[in-house]
Structure 1
Amino acid sequence: MQIDDRAHPTTGPERYDFGRPAALSREHTRALAGAFDAFARQWAIQLTSKTRLRAHIAVERVNLETYDEYVATVPLTTTLVICAAEGSDDRIIVEFPLDTALSWIVKMLGGDVPGRIDTRPLTAVEQALLRALMDETLGHLRGSLGALLPHELSVSAVQYNSAFAQIAAAQELVVVARFSMKFADRTETATIALPAASLLERLSRTASAPHAATDPGVVRWHVEQTPVELTLRLTPRSMRPSEVLTLSVGDVIPLPHGQDRPLDLAVGDNVVASAAVGANGARLACVVTSSDLSPSLAEELQ
């Protein structure tokens, strides 16, 4: 019996490029997926509050690709938000459908999104709104990735044609995170591409660093560097719902706070000090008059 070689084509050995790993290591994939998952939750909360559209965002996968491979998977017409890192030549791409960007802007301006939106480049005003929205998104991205993005990020440009963007060299490696974005009954896809060389280098250094659980100093540093909201407030008063519902313009609500008593300086629900109202130039300020921290804790924080 004669075997037709055309039905069983033979292929020679494939060359392995040692300069380019075939894929992310399992440890790197797990670490990046966890960081991007935390970012996805923050991004969904942000979009829900800004656009009044209930958003659900989930990480689909994290891959290592060349820039050419990445561009080939992105729609030809889309929103490419190019982000620059302060003090670095790295460029980060946040990509999502152009009609999705337009629907966000319509909702941010208080309008209703029609069933179908014609895609078009954004106007100057629309770009300003999108940049402001993305600046907040980049803050969430940097907060989620932590030491993997040591520089501040800002929007440097918005482009619409993925084929002509040329943000990186064709064979430059990028780490690509793909997200599914669900708004009501519509599901879209978004991507984030980061330069692989610097990201993987920082990821390797982070993996080889002492684990936070075994280094109390690292845990304390993170706690001390976490921003908290400081509130200057009067002593609160309890009211029944029936009283609140009958309030009208001009009503006077007596407060239990004495006129000669300092105000409470609080973090969350915890009062940490007493303070009086003051001024710092043209701005209001408060002058701390006493601290409610225990002496032992105050000495420890020195």
Structure 2
Amino acid sequence: MSDILSQNEIDALLAALSTGEVKAEEIKKESEKKVKPYDFKRPNKFSKEQLNTLSMIHENFARLLTTYLSAQLRTFVQINVFFVEQMTYNEFISSLPNPSLISVVDFSPLKGAAIMEINPSIAFSIIDRLLGGPGDYSGKLREPTEIETTIIEKIFTKMTSILNEAWKDIENIQTKMEKLETNSQFVQLVSPNEAVALITFNAKIGKTEGMINICIPHIVLEPIMPKLSTRIWLATTGQEQSSSAKEVIIDKVHDTKIQLRVELGRASITIGEFLGLSVGDVIRLNRDIKDGVDVRIRDKLKFSGSVGIHRNKMAVKVQKIYYEKEGSYE
């Protein structure tokens, strides 16, 4: 129906109203515009699907980081994605303790930077373990010393390289740690009301538990937002995993050791004859020397060849390949 009614349409509508076929309340409900509430203070710039994709990406990051820290610290390490949500940058910064261990991470080739933050209790537990201690930190929060800062910078640098690996299915990013801060108020990457994606990990190292946070502003991810689709991510990772799995299997098969046996021939003798064998005795085999020898993989005939010497060692030259077909060889 057009916006402007013709005279015939108006007459038909009035007739329907007078007979009760159409009610005025129904027309009023249809004409009302549907209004969707929108919070200008906290705009939803990340869809639920995009947050789910970020969660899956960083679950892979958590697994890789767990493997790395377990090998380095030689103790029990467990890191899992706790939650992924959208919030404003100001809300995230205000939630951080002071002092904190905050790494500003460049997200090249994307424009802008992200934040990687480790809870001080976890950070000092890692430092204590690397320096030969038990790794159970229960002291007060404090500023790290110069030596501790150097150690934690190396941990952050490794975490950025692991982040590259986790993101490679979506975008070939080359993250790099720009600086390390201990006061969250000195880290102002974007405006306070800018939307950010916060990925929070629950970390347990030995008996110490704490949080690890990755905060990525929407403005950084905006150019690749269409790629943050669960379907695209699963399709990409599925192809790469199947290809990678195939290469691993091929490498394993190539390096597998098998038992190879060369059979000169066969003979049947009695136990008495066997017990009476001595040096210089001759056992007559069931085949002529011109027939060559059988080369078997375990008990299956695979090749035939001739016996000889190669570089002063006994050797067999393969002359024929047998293919197993319906229980026989040809």
TM tier, shorter chain? Answer: 0.5 to 0.7
Matched, 1:175 2:197: yes
Give the one of 160, 176, 179 matched to 1:138: 160
Q: Which residue of 2 aligns with 1:154?
A: 176
Match of 1:58 among 80, 98, 114: 80
Change (3 A) 1:21 1:223: farther
- Cα deviation code 1:152-171 (max 9, x no counterpart): 11111111112332233211
Task: Give the partner amino acid of 1:56.
Answer: Q
Letter matched to residue 99 of structure 1: S
Change over 3 Å in CA distance of 1:193–1:208 after alignment to 2: closer
SS of match in other structure, 1:27:
helix
Shift of 1:208: 9.9
Secondary structure, counterpart of 2:78 in structure 1: strand
Identify if the C-alpha distance between structure 1 residues 14 and 139 changes in structure 2 by more than 3 Å, giving closer, same or farther.
same
* Alpha-carbon distance between aligned partners in 2 of 1:101 and 1:146, rounded to the nearest angstrom: 27
Between the two proteins, what is the percent identity of the paired residues? 21
Partner AA of 1:126 in structure 2: E
Contact 1:46 1:137 in 2 (8 A): no
| Offset, 1:17 | 4.4
Gap change, CA 1:147 and 1:38, over 3 Å in 2: closer
Residue in structure 2 matched with residue 293 of structure 1 by the alignment: none
> Where is the helix percentage greater, Structure 1 or Structure 2?
2
Instruction: Write out aligned runs for 1:1-302 (5 A).
Output: 16-17=38-39, 21-22=43-44, 24-113=46-135, 116-146=138-168, 148-205=170-227, 207=229, 213=235, 219=239, 223=243
Inter-CA distance 115–160: structure 2 relative to 1 (3 Å threshold): closer
Amino acid at match of 2:180: V
Contact 2:99 2:143 in 1 (8 A): no
Do the aligned partners of 1:83 and 1:156 also contact (CA within 8 Å) in 2? Answer: yes
Greater Cα radius of gyration, structure 1 or 2: 2
Q: Distance in 2 between matches of 1:36 and 1:220?
A: 17
Q: 1:20 deviation in Å? A: 5.8
TM-score for both structures, normalised by structure 1: 0.60
Q: Secondary structure at the match of 2:229?
A: helix
Cα distance in 2 for residues equivalent to 1:166 and 1:208: 31
Counterpart amino acid of 1:129?
I
Q: CA RMSD, aligned part only?
A: 3.8
Evaluate the alpha carbon distance shift between residue 143 and residue 19 of structure 1 in structure 2; reply closer, same or farther with a 3 A threshold.
farther
Aligned to 2:272: none
Q: Higher mean Cα deviation, 64-73 or 125-134? A: 125-134
Contact 2:49–2:230 (CA under 8 A) maintained in structure 1: no
Displacement of 1:40 after TM fit?
A: 1.1
Report the alpha carbon displacement of residue 97 of structure 1 after superposing the two structures with TM: 1.7
CA contact (8 A) 1:103 1:117 kept: no
How far 1:135 sits from its partner (Å)? Answer: 1.7
The answer for the alignment partner of 1:261 in structure 2 is none
Q: CA 1:194–1:220 in structure 2 vs 1: closer, same or farther (change >3 Å)?
A: closer
Structure 1 residues 148 and 173: alpha-carbon distance in aligned structure 2, compared to 1, 3 A threshold:
farther
CA–CA distance in structure 2, aligned partners of residues 178 and 209 of structure 1: 23
One-letter identity of the residue aligned with 1:53: T
Q: Deviations over 1:252-288 (max 9, x none)?
A: xxxxxxxxxxxxxxxxxxxxxxxxxxxxxxxxxxxxx
Equivalent in the alignment of 1:5 = none
Following TM superposition, by how much is the alpha carbon of 1:19 offset from its aligned partner in structure 2, in angstroms? 9.1
In structure 1, runs of 5+ residues without a counterpart are 1-12, 237-302
Moved more, 24-33 or 119-128: 119-128
